[in-house]
C-alpha cells in the first residue's frame, strides 16, 4: 500500500495570525495520526481557516445557529470509522477568541492553538463530546497527543466539567 499523507491547505484571513502557526500544522496533524495509529488510505486533504471573531461568528451562525464567535469549528466531510482519504473536512479558528483564552488560561498561544487544532481534527475523525463517555474518550486522546507534542495537559486544572 502506498504511504499517503494529508495535504493541508492553510488560509490566513487575518494578518494577526503568526505565520509560524501555519508551519506547525503538519507536525501536529502527523502526531495525531501516529499517536492514534491511524493510516491515510488514499490521497487526503484538510483545509484550515485562520480567521477572526467576525467571520467565525458568521460561520457559527450559518452552520450551528449560534450567533457568537467560538474558538474552533470543525466541518467533517468523512464519516466516522470510514477510510481516511479524500476531502477530510475544514477547521476554522477565531484569532481574538483563541488569543483571549490563551491569555486567560496563562498558556502559550502556540500551545493553546495546538490543543484546538488537535480537538478540531479529532472532530473531523469522528470524535465528539456530547456524552460524558465520549468527552472522556476525546479528552484522553487529546492528552496523549499533546503529551507527545510536549504540551501540558489542558484539563489538569479542571475538576469536573
- HEC assignment per residue over the chain: CCCCCEEEEEEECCCCCCHHHHHHHHHHHHHHHHHCCCCCCCCEEEEEEEECHHHHHHHHHHHHCCCCCCCEEEEECCCCCCCCCEEEEEEEEEHHHHHHHHHHCCCCHHHHHHHHHHHHHHHHCCCCCCCHHHHHHHHHHHHHHHHHCCCCCCCCCCCCC
Query: Is 119 labelled a binding residue?
Result: yes
Q: Identify whether 155 is part of a domain.
A: no
Q: Identify whether 158 is part of a domain.
A: no
Query: Is 123 labelled a binding residue?
Result: yes
Q: Could you give the number of structural domains in the chain?
A: 1
CATH code, 95 = 3.40.390.30
Q: Identify whether 101 is part of a domain.
A: yes
| pLDDT surpasses 50 at 161 | no
According to the model, what pLDDT value does residue 22 have?
87
Q: Identify whether 103 is part of a domain.
A: yes
74-124 pLDDT per residue, tens: 999 999 889 999 999 999 999 999 999 999 999 999 999 999 999 999 999
According to the model, what pLDDT value does residue 101 have?
97
According to the model, what pLDDT value does residue 4 have?
77
122-143 pLDDT per residue, tens: 999 999 999 999 999 999 999 9
Q: Identify whether 47 is part of a domain.
A: yes
Kindly report the average pLDDT of the chain as a whole number: 93
Domain with 49 in it: 6-148
Q: Identify whether 111 is part of a domain.
A: yes
**148 and 133 in contact (C-beta within 8 Å)?**
no
Q: Identify whether 140 is part of a domain.
A: yes
Percentage with pLDDT > 90 across the chain? 88
* C-alpha cell of residue 95: 484569532
Give the model's confidence band at 1: pLDDT under 50 very low, under 70 low, under 90 confident, else very high: very low
Query: Is 20 labelled a binding residue?
Result: no
Pick the closest to residue 66 from 75, 76, 74, 56 (CA basis).
Answer: 56
Q: Identify whether 153 is part of a domain.
A: no
Amino acid at each position: 500500500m502506498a504511504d499517503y499523507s494529508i495535504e493541508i491547505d492553510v488560509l490566513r484571513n487575518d494578518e494577526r495570525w503568526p505565520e509560524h502557526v501555519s508551519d506547525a500544522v503538519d507536525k501536529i496533524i502527523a502526531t495525531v495520526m501516529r499517536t492514534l495509529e491511524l493510516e491515510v488510505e488514499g490521497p487526503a486533504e484538510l483545509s484550515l481557516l485562520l480567521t477572526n471573531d467576525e467571520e467565525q461568528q458568521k460561520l457559527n451562525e450559518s452552520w450551528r445557529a449560534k450567533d457568537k464567535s467560538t474558538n474552533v469549528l470543525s466541518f467533517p466531510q468523512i464519516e466516522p470509522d470510514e477510510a481516511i482519504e479524500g476531502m477530510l473536512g475544514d477547521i476554522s479558528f477565531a484569532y481574538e477568541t483563541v488569543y483571549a483564552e490563551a491569555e486567560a488560561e496563562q498558556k502559550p498561544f502556540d500551545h493553546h492553538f495546538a490543543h484546538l487544532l488537535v480537538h478540531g481534527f479529532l472532530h473531523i475523525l469522528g470524535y465528539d463530546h456530547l456524552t460524558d463517555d465520549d468527552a472522556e474518550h476525546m479528552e484522553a486522546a487529546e492528552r496523549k497527543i499533546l503529551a507527545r507534542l510536549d504540551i501540558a495537559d489542558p484539563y489538569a486544572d479542571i475538576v469536573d466539567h
